[in-house]
Structure 1
């Protein structure tokens, strides 16, 4: 009869301790893509600070005798950088030098106004990104939305309420059709959407220029200038906080668009098919998804979202009439917003607010501190640069690369194994 000897405590196998919830959360944050956007903004701000200090006259003067009195230069650098970003805050969030709260909060309303078209257009670009398409045609889609919405607003005579809705719907449909052309070409002929959307931008620009120069279409009656008549009161987006602020209901439209896009991507079967096509078109096709149809549908929806940006410009911001430069570079800035937001609706919302703050606060930095507005543009460009190179950002901060395999650890030897090796 055999008896089992109890195992020695020295030879007991090691028990693995499960990582704590906080450790798992920190690993998810460090290995996720969101941290790259945050760090990209941080690096860009640091580089911008160096440029602000380098272009400051006081810093340049004190640098001449740095070794004699180094604290002078250090103080000048601090004053230049702190003054610049304090001006950015005053111009974008709250002016703490204002006489009243109503005046002090005005910069925030300006930031929200500037962010409105960026958010809407960024959603259109980001939605296409999630389906594996590069929608570079935001400019053309905005221009066509502005043309259609402006025509309905200035040429149609409708009662209040209905007139505004008709103009908004017309703009969204025009943006959807213009983007849908690229989606249809992609689905039927395989034409690359980057080329087609860029060419459609040029077509839209010159088509709008013709409309603005033609009486009876968009040109103001009795005028020879390439500009529309002022938008009638029945087709203007209402002011949200009264006439003393320029924030209009287009911001609410942008928030509705964010909620709709989030639901579409995260909760609907159509959004699941979009994401499946974006991840692997071949696998999606094998699974029974009509990839070509998804290309067309996603571009239609993306164009409608960009159309909201065009409508918010003409019916909310430029109500006195608009010309051929109504897009104001928003169509291309939307690409940056979508990249910074990682094509996530909530991320795009945050990125749009950030870039709206940069744009609004940049004017205050220039006027009060004498800082070139180009530095703000450099900061924005650096954000895109670092976002486009996640391995660089991870290497700079020592973060683990996603998908990197860890070297397997050698199992620790217990006391019995060590004694056996020594005796041998």
Structure 2
């Protein structure tokens, strides 16, 4: 008789099961979801195109004209998107440098969300963690005047520390009181948003002689060096190093193993001797620190000043990036590059073809939809039917043996 593999007891929590299904499913489903979202986005562009509407009036008389215009409208927008984010004949690969610039905070914040996901936690608070990290980093950058090297190092350290404190507080409250991290992180987002609005109207943060809520420019010693002629700065190198560090942590360190064990089954992890409460606090603090790195990239790299809208929609885009990356470090990295390309090329797409820039947001939303519903993607590509057929054949093979 063949030995049966031991059965790992399930946590019995539908939320944990759903989180594992969405964030740790096969990467092929993510790729197929992106393809379907791009196809639907192309259809929406074509349907709303004026020339397509004109040729639709005589579709039966001249169908070739309709389908030709339909294909043109659906493809030229994506070509313009590519030209504005990767390469074009005029600027060469300079648009790709802009894509890397836009991707840098997305990768950092996405890593923060992904780390929490792997620990079984829904980190919806990257927005607040980015804000607090950027506040501390910016203050060190313009209020302290230090030598080159030390100044930028302290900006990075305090930015990560700010995010870690903001995320760690959520982990502490969850571990000690049992409060749900989704509610906590959402409320902490509101606190951070109103806190930065308050700070930007204080003498300590507002630029002297300025009526608008904007901080002084960070000292040159507190700013990431940039490639001449582009906005790409060494913050991108920081993002790559963080990806490498998180990848090493999950594969080689005890902390990474504990994160994965608690994320898979907290009850079993507790039985095995893992301190779930401590792991929860550490996971949220680390997630916050990574999101805080996104704030550092913004104030010390891209913007060089602090404003109330410094985080923009980065915190919520980071959730999408982590989902698309299946909560893996390198998956999050490439997902951040994809979304950075969308955002960097959207302006050129609108200028060149007249396609509304909002179509990029539509495509991103569709990607989230398909990633959050793997059975839908599998049904579209007939993957469920293949599984059913193979399962019917397995008993026959087993019987033959």
Query: When the two structures are superposed, what TM-score results if normalisation uses the length of structure 1?
Result: 0.86
Paired position in structure 2 for 1:121: 109
Paired position in structure 1 for 2:225: 238
Paired position in structure 2 for 1:229: 216
1: CA distance between counterparts of 2:66 and 2:241? Answer: 49
2: CA distance between counterparts of 1:138 and 1:93? Answer: 28
Correspondent of 1:364 among 348, 369, 377: 348
Give aligned pairs, total: 375
Paired position in structure 2 for 1:334: 318
Structure 1 residues 356-396: Cα deviation after superposition (integer angstroms, max 9, x where no partner): 01111111111100001111111100000000111111111
Paired position in structure 2 for 1:172: 160
Whether 1:390 aligns to 2:383 is no
Correspondent of 2:30 among 27, 37, 43: 37
Partner of 1:104, secondary structure, is coil
2: CA distance between counterparts of 1:402 and 1:130? Answer: 29
- 1:301–1:403: structure 2 CA closer, same or farther, 3 Å change rule? farther
Matches within 5 A, 1:376-415: 376-400=360-384, 406-407=391-392, 408-410=394-396
2: CA distance between counterparts of 1:318 and 1:129? Answer: 29
Structure 1 residues 75-124: Cα deviation after superposition (integer angstroms, max 9, x where no partner): 1112112211110110010012x0xxxx3211100100000000000000
Matches within 5 A, 1:191-206: 191-206=179-194
Quote the offset at 1:409 in angstroms: 4.2
Check the 8 A contact 1:213/1:224 in 2, yes or no: no
Query: When the two structures are superposed, what TM-score results if normalisation uses the length of structure 2?
Result: 0.91
2: CA distance between counterparts of 1:317 and 1:336? Answer: 22
Quote the offset at 1:412 in angstroms: 11
- 1:410–1:33: structure 2 CA closer, same or farther, 3 Å change rule? closer
Rg: which structure is higher?
A: 1
- 1:191–1:169: structure 2 CA closer, same or farther, 3 Å change rule? same
Quote the offset at 1:403 in angstroms: 8.8
Quote the offset at 1:222 in angstroms: 3.1
Quote the offset at 1:249 in angstroms: 0.6
Quote the offset at 1:231 in angstroms: 1.1
2: CA distance between counterparts of 1:332 and 1:402? Answer: 35
2: CA distance between counterparts of 1:398 and 1:344? Answer: 26
Quote the offset at 1:62 in angstroms: 0.2
Structure 1 residues 306-350: Cα deviation after superposition (integer angstroms, max 9, x where no partner): 11100000011101x221000010011000000000000010001
Check the 8 A contact 1:143/1:204 in 2, yes or no: yes
Matches within 5 A, 1:20-419: 33-96=26-89, 98=90, 103-216=91-204, 218-239=205-226, 241-242=227-228, 244-319=229-304, 321-400=305-384, 406-407=391-392, 408-410=394-396
Moved over 3 A (4+): 400-405, 408-414
- 1:158–1:401: structure 2 CA closer, same or farther, 3 Å change rule? farther
2: CA distance between counterparts of 1:154 and 1:307? Answer: 18
Structure 1 residues 235-290: Cα deviation after superposition (integer angstroms, max 9, x where no partner): 01001x22x11100110000001000101111111100100000000000000000
Structure 1 residues 204-255: Cα deviation after superposition (integer angstroms, max 9, x where no partner): 1111111111102x1112333211011111101001x22x111001100000
Check the 8 A contact 1:339/1:387 in 2, yes or no: yes
Partner of 1:406, secondary structure, is helix
Check the 8 A contact 1:160/1:235 in 2, yes or no: yes
2: CA distance between counterparts of 1:295 and 1:409? Answer: 43
- The alignment yields a C-alpha RMSD, in angstroms, of 1.8
2: CA distance between counterparts of 1:410 and 1:358? Answer: 49
Gaps of 5+ in 2: 1-23
